[in-house]
Amino acid sequence: MKLKWEMFFHRKTVIRPTARAWLLILLVLVMVFVIPYQFWFTKAAESLVLQDPLAASDVIFIEDWDYPEFRNFAAAARVQQRGFADRIIIFSNDGDQRLRVEGADSQTLEDKVIDLYCREAGIRAGSFEKIWSIPSEPATLDRARQVAQVFQVRGIHSAILISRHYHSKRSTLSYRRFLDPAHIRLISYPAGYSYKPNNWWRSREGIQTVTLEFLKLVLYRLFFV
User: What tens digit of pLDDT does each residue of 186-205 get?
Assistant: 999 998 777 888 889 888 88
- The string of DSSP codes covering 26-42 is HHHHIIIIIS-HHHHHH
Q: Which domain holds residue 71?
A: 52-195
- Whether 187 and 52 have beta carbons less than 8 Å apart is answered as yes
Provide the residue type at 216 as one letter: K
Q: Is 24 within a domain? A: no
Q: Is 92 within a domain? A: yes
Q: What is the CATH number of the domain that holds 183?
A: 3.40.50.620
| Phi-psi label, residue 70: left if phi above 0, alpha if psi -120 to 50, beta otherwise | left
3 state SS of 58: coil
* Residue with the larger pLDDT of the pair 36 and 220: 220
3 state SS of 129: strand
Q: Which of 34-48, 104-118, 172-186 has the lowest mean pLDDT?
A: 104-118
Q: Is 217 within a domain? A: no
Q: How far apart are the first and last CA of the chain?
A: 68
**Of residues 5, 87, 149, the one with CA closest to residue 76:** 87
CA 137 centroid distance within chain: 17
Residue 57 pLDDT > 90: yes
pLDDT tier at 104 (50, 70, 90 boundaries)?
very low
Q: Is 95 within a domain? A: yes
Element (H, E) at 88: strand 87-92
Task: Evaluate the omega torsion of the peptide bond into residue 36 and state whether it is cis, within 30 degrees of 0.
Answer: no
3 state SS of 24: helix
The total number of structural domains that make up the chain: 1
Q: Is 13 within a domain? A: no
As a whole number of angstroms, the distance between CA 138 and CA 125 comes to 33
Q: Is 179 within a domain? A: yes
Q: Is 204 within a domain? A: no
Measured from the Cβ of residue 15, the count of other Cβ atoms closer than 10 Å reads 5
Q: Which of 3-12, 105-114, 214-223 has the lowest mean pLDDT?
A: 3-12
